[in-house]
Amino acid sequence: MAHKLKVTLVRSTIDRERSQKATVRGLGLRRLHHTVLVEDTHAIRGMIRKVQHLVSVEPADQA
């Protein structure tokens, strides 16, 4: 079973670069405090690293 990450948007994308806004949307985040579960892949890790100042990341509970 692949590992999952819980990603939450904690800072606004207002006045951010277009590429950062697109990355946040690419992660599936739509509004502040919105949380999504994503697969833990190299591509997702790169997207998170690009907007690390806007998001909060934690491992998802494995139930």
* 27 strand-pairing partners: none
pLDDT score, position 62 = 67
Report the predicted TM-score, pTM, of the whole model to 2 decimal places: 0.91
pLDDT score, position 61 = 82
CB 51 within 8 A of CB 5: no
Higher pLDDT, 1 or 2: 2
Using the predicted structure, report yes or no on whether residue 63 has a pLDDT greater than 70. no
Average pLDDT over residues 36-42: 97
Average pLDDT over residues 16-29: 98
- Quick one: what percent of the chain has pLDDT higher than 70? 94
Would you list the domain boundaries of the chain?
Answer: 4-59
Q: How would CATH label the architecture of 4-59?
A: 2-Layer Sandwich (3.30)
